[in-house]
Structure 1
């Protein structure tokens, strides 16, 4: 891992062929993503906030929670790992500290956004953005703070809702000039805007598909044809997990028992496989 996963992610995104990256909200969800054969995983700030605290994505997590979960996911999977660091948790100096901490914890890339604090989910109303100059300073601090030049800085702008599409494009261009490796124009609101992004911005880009959100959900093949580097499904796993819990626990409530029904729960042995129980059984015998 280390530089190898950073280089692998950098080269893969540079192909601009719509790499689908699901979001993980903890180590086990990252294991499921890896087990299904995905090529990279994204630690979602919204998912972490929802699942760890049961709170909405309104800026409640901090750097230590992100560092802790980054380390847990890195220990669980060998996939390239992109980490959502929200606004960087403060000014440019805070961003420097955050980058150093998160890179040491095992991230291969980070996503930093230009929202004013406290930030909001990109598909919520009422977002505000900081000045372009302040965000440029944060990006420069992030670039300077990384210890490996292959560590990718993803610069996200949430200005579509406050400054319009043209304003968001202008910001993204400034962020690329400041050193961002990948651009992310959040919450575009029409097919035309989605299609225009890759024509207007030359560095690799993220297209974030939020199930039920503001951005039209073009299929992966179309987004690959358009030339997006990453197609992000940040909280698809979370939404699927919540539905699974509601279904299985709803059935338990109704029937007052729950059997090993594969339409409701994974089998006991499958759960043990995903958490490497056979490995620990073997280690226990080895060290006995």
Structure 2
């Protein structure tokens, strides 16, 4: 089965699809090794890892394309790309979708914020007009060569224009061909129930710890509410930052690395194993000594 078809199947399955956010190939490999079925590229995480800057449309389309391709090439499960606002107008969105499909992504997020966009859990967001938003999603859907390539139409309208506009946009996105609607910034069980009831197709949300995510629901709870997919865009990058801060603090305090045994992988199980050093060693053996 093609990875695009697999991702579409996972979204339409009765079981909720949980997609941790990867910001580089290492985090992507760990997601796959942990047994998750698919990966979400996190725009905020990639911006932080590549530029050391916030999620504020500072990455170009080619920057994001390169980061996504590196992730895709290192795993065997479907990867959802982050297409930001389409990196321009509807025409830019069209070419953006084609580029990410060629790069091997199984789907892409396209959102309706004004550029420069910002993290959906921050204040000060603005959204483009209804007609422009729908036209962008129509362009994204028209651009697909593989009809199973997932178009995840994201709306940030909840914080800006309210629930009625979320439902209006979500259904319009589905009508022009979107696979799923992602509603950004839901903050209560009641809001989740409203979007699932009002939108006539698969609904996705994300969980940002400490952001607008005020509910304390398990994935099973979200599945029971009818959510098709949940992404965890910042969990891994924030966990990594915490671990690095803690390690550096201990090194500075202790004047050695002897106190890190409880928080770092043994060398043999760390980067060489995760990054595939065994395969490299096997290739070295195959091509050494002039084997023919």
* 1:273 corresponds to: 273
* 1:74 corresponds to: 72
Q: How many residues align?
A: 286
1:177-192 to structure 2, matched below 5 A, reads 177-192=175-190
CA distance in 1, matches of 2:209, 2:35: 21
* 1:162 corresponds to: 160
Shift of 1:224: 1.1
CA distance in 2, matches of 1:155, 1:260: 46
* 2:253 corresponds to: 254
Shift of 1:189: 2.6
TM-score, with structure 2 as normaliser? 0.95
Q: How big is the alpha-carbon RMSD for the aligned residues of Structure 1 and Structure 2?
A: 1.2
Q: Deviations over 1:20-47 (max 9, x none)?
A: 1100000110001011111000111111
Shift of 1:115: 0.2
Bigger drift between 103-112 and 261-270 goes to: 261-270
TM-score, with structure 1 as normaliser? 0.96
**Structure 1 residue aligned with 2:204, among 199, 206, 217?**
206
* 1:226 corresponds to: 225
CA distance in 2, matches of 1:92, 1:262: 52
**Structure 2 residue aligned with 1:6, among 4, 7, 14?**
4
**Structure 2 residue aligned with 1:61, among 45, 59, 62?**
59
CA distance in 1, matches of 2:259, 2:250: 12
CA distance in 2, matches of 1:217, 1:239: 19
Deviation beyond 6 Å, 4+ runs, structure 1:
none
* 1:286 corresponds to: 286
* 1:20 corresponds to: 18
Contact 1:208 1:232 survives alignment (8 Å): yes
CA distance in 1, matches of 2:65, 2:206: 23
In structure 2, runs of 5+ residues without a counterpart are none
Secondary structure class of the residue paired with 1:100: helix
CA distance in 1, matches of 2:57, 2:217: 28
**Structure 2 residue aligned with 1:50, among 40, 48, 51?**
48
